[in-house]
Amino acid sequence: MDSNYDLVVIGCGAAGLAAAVSYAEAAATQEHRARIAVLERATKENRGGATRWTSSWFRITEDRRLDPNFIGQMEAVSGGRADLDYCRTLEREVPGTLDFLERHGVALIYFKQPFPNRNTGGGLGMPARGGLGIVDGLAAAVDGVNGAEIQYETEAVRLSLSADGGVDGVVVRGRNGMPRTLNSAAVVIAAGGFEGSPEMLARHLGSRGRDLPLVAPTLENNRGDGIRMAIEAGAGTAGQFDMFHGEPADPRSRKPDAVVYAFPYGIVVNRHARRFYDEGKDSFDATFEEFAFEIWCNQEQKAFLIGDQTTLAIEHVDKIILTDQPPLAAATIGELAPLLGVDPTALERTVAEYNAAVGPGRFDAHSRDGKCTRGIDPPKSNWAFPLNSPPFIAWPLTCAITFTFGGIRTDDSARVVTPAGQTIPGLYAAGEVTGLYYRRYPAGTSVLRAATFGRIAGAHAASAKAGARRAARR
Ligand SMILES: Cc1cc2nc3c(=O)[nH]c(=O)nc-3n(C[C@H](O)[C@H](O)[C@H](O)COP(=O)(O)OP(=O)(O)OC[C@H]3O[C@@H](n4cnc5c(N)ncnc54)[C@H](O)[C@@H]3O)c2cc1C
């Protein structure tokens, strides 16, 4: 088997596939045949990492630009620690990324949200088939390139380094377990975060980190290998290693992405039947990460969303309840409590206190209506209506991990840099494997940045190759 490549990409999600396709596209304009290997630890049927399972909401405006509030939000939520040059590059390149995806068979849709109170700049776009559309579309584009291949059930073990400290290949292990080296002047690490590594989760989040369930199954392949390999080669890091993006998910469900976002339209209680979070603090996509983190960090990983028939009657509420399990239901709160394993008297008291505290005003699910509680702690700041329309309903909730925040440090050309900011020749990284977020994740930007910086990495590596060819001809 020929083991010489122009580009080796570690990972077959949005970032890795975008890198491979973008390299091939650039090589075609430079009229050289690109030899590209994309490594995927999973089988072909399970390819695509996190990208495979995401709905892939894009935080974009109607004219296909990144939400103009994004950079300000990143600066604010990270306390000034996020790399704003990286964010500005993302903002500049998002329109090009959307064109790139469409050019390579990924159909996109855009719509005004049924919940315009969302924290995403007014509207949202997404691939018509979610993240799977990106995986299938870009993988087909790779398959269509003469000289490119996706090597399934093949894991990258470590980087091969040249004498000058640059990267000249990847040591891989395939189905037969024997290590072999793929030689390449350029390597893009796009191997996702470390949510699939209980050991790394425990190291960075504390011992309870290893108990976090994954929000989707193939996240188990994202074991922090890319971060480890890059650090071994001298890379710096960025992003908050002891923080992650989690979501409130239904623990009864085996379905990937079985999340329940409807918590602003009811109340949430812990296993002691006590409220612990301002359910109406902001739109669900501004608070779901904080809410899920609170369940994991301070509520013993267990909570319940309690609602009634008014909750279920809210227009489009079904669109934000993605579990395949029906809610538990009972005619009275006292009868609902045993189904949840909580004390009936305590739950009745909590609901009665909440109902009595609901203030006046007009309920409007589609804007921050200011209809709040008075005199209870925690308050409910919006969308407070009394729970008095039986049957009463409840969804059990736990915090499921979606992705980690800490990763490799890169520059705005997706080149991996050392702690001192120097580039490591031949080494690129993109997507979740790179660190960006601190404290909070402004939703709808993770796939966009994966595809964008994957595209940038591929184009930069192709142009470096073209430069080297020109120099060799002189
Ligand atoms: C259920 C769910 C919903 C989400 N919703 C959204 C959303 O609406 N909007 C949004 O922007 N983001 C969302 N996200 C986050 C987003 O999907 C990811 O951040 C993004 O897809 C990451 O892309 P990636 O290419 O960096 O990594 P991935 O898509 O995870 O790809 C990593 C790849 O690397 C492979 N790999 C890992 N280690 C190795 C190794 N050693 N050798 C070979 N291969 C390896 C994996 O198998 C995989 O193919 C969601 C995620 C999930 C799981």
User: pLDDT over 70 for what percent of the chain?
Assistant: 97
Residue 52 CA: which ligand 1 atom is closest?
29
Give the pLDDT band of residue 164 (cuts 50, 70, 90): confident
Q: For the residues 146-151, what does the mean pLDDT come to?
A: 96
For residue 369, CA distances in Å to 109, 191, 347, 387, 451 come to 29, 42, 26, 17, 36
The DSSP element (H or E) to which 336 belongs, if any, is: helix 333-340
| Average pLDDT of the chain, as a whole number | 95
Mutational pocket test of ligand 1: of 432, 437, 453, the residue with most ligand atoms within 8 Å of the beta carbon: 432
pLDDT for residue 366 = 86
Q: What separation in Å is there between the alpha carbon of 383 and the centre of ligand 1?
A: 34
Between helix 446-473 and helix 14-29 the angle, nearest 10°, is 30
pLDDT for residue 123 = 57
pLDDT for residue 472 = 87
Task: Sort strands 179-189 and 167-173 into parallel, antiparallel or unpaired.
Answer: antiparallel
Quick: pLDDT tens for 76-130.
999 999 999 999 999 999 999 999 999 999 999 886 655 555 666 555 789 999 9
Give the pLDDT band of residue 66 (cuts 50, 70, 90): very high
Domain boundaries 4-243+405-473, corresponding CATH code: 3.50.50.60
pTM: 0.96
Q: Please name which of 387, 276, 384, 377 lies closest in space to residue 333, comparing C-alpha atoms.
A: 387
- Give, using CA atoms, the residue closest to atom 42 of ligand 1: 155
Q: What is 247-400's CATH number, 3.20.20.70, 3.40.640.10, 3.90.700.10, 3.40.190.10?
A: 3.90.700.10
Q: What separation in Å is there between the alpha carbon of 433 and the centre of ligand 1?
A: 9
Residue 15 CA: which ligand 1 atom is closest?
25
- Give, using CA atoms, the residue closest to atom 53 of ligand 1: 50
pLDDT for residue 300 = 96
Give the pLDDT band of residue 61 (cuts 50, 70, 90): confident
Residue 218 CA: which ligand 1 atom is closest?
47
Quick: pLDDT tens for 31-54.
778 999 999 999 999 999 999 999
Strand partners, 162: none
DSSP 384-435: -----SSSEEEEEEEEEEEEES-EE-B-TTSEEE-TTS-EEEEEEE-GGGB-
Residue 259 CA: which ligand 1 atom is closest?
1
pLDDT for residue 125 = 87
- DSSP 3-state of 216: coil
Domain boundaries, the chain: 4-243+405-473, 247-400
Quick: pLDDT tens for 277-291.
999 999 898 899 999
- Give, using CA atoms, the residue closest to atom 26 of ligand 1: 431
Residue 462 to residue 36: CA distance in whole angstroms? 11
Q: What separation in Å is there between the alpha carbon of 50 and the centre of ligand 1?
A: 3
Ligand 1 proximal residues by C-beta, below 6 Å: 10-16, 39-42, 47-51, 53-57, 131, 155-156, 190-192, 215-216, 219, 221-222, 225, 256-257, 402-403, 431-432, 444-448, 450
Mutational pocket test of ligand 1: of 154, 402, 408, 410, the residue with most ligand atoms within 8 Å of the beta carbon: 402
Mutational pocket test of ligand 1: of 41, 52, 225, 253, the residue with most ligand atoms within 8 Å of the beta carbon: 41
pLDDT for residue 211 = 87
pLDDT for residue 115 = 54
Residue 431 CA: which ligand 1 atom is closest?
26
pLDDT for residue 32 = 77
Virtual CA dihedral for 418, 421, 426, 431, nearest 10 degrees? 80
User: pLDDT over 90 for what percent of the chain?
Assistant: 88
pLDDT for residue 117 = 55
